[in-house]
Amino acid sequence: MATKKINKKLITKDMMIGALAETYPALVDVLIEDYGFHCIGCGMSSIETLEQGAAVHGMTNNEIKTMIDNLNELANA
């Protein structure tokens, strides 16, 4: 019997920025370099979601969705 890979979303727009950085440290550089999240180390990262942080950085809903999809793809690689 073949094993089927289940592709489930691990990262959501509701995930805290700090939790994402702690769980997926390899994605920190992606957030900083590709999306301008230079606030990873600030106090807000523990109480601000990815969506909230992205909105503060001027990202649209479509850009946020693309970012989340990209982060999940990288996390599952």
| DSSP string across 56-72 | HTT--HHHHHHHHHHHH
Burial classification of residue 53, based on how many CB atoms lie within 10 Å of its CB (0-12 exposed, 13-18 middle, 19 or more buried): buried
Q: Which domain holds residue 33?
A: 17-75
What is the C-alpha separation between 22 and 6, in angstroms, rounded? 24
For the entire predicted model, the pTM comes to 0.81
8 lies in a domain?
no
Residue 63 covered by a domain: yes
Q: Is residue 10 part of a domain?
A: no
Amino acid code (one letter) for 9: K
Asked if residue 1 belongs to a domain, the reply is no
What's the number of domains the chain is made of? Answer: 1
**30 is a domain residue:** yes
Can you give the pLDDT at residue 67? 96
- The confidence score (pLDDT) of residue 2 equals 53
Distance of CA 51 to the CA centre of its chain: 9
Would you write out the chain's pLDDT as a tens digit for each of its 77 residues? Answer: 555 555 556 899 999 999 999 999 999 999 999 998 877 777 777 789 999 999 988 999 999 999 999 999 999 88
Looking at the domain assignment, is residue 7 inside a domain? no
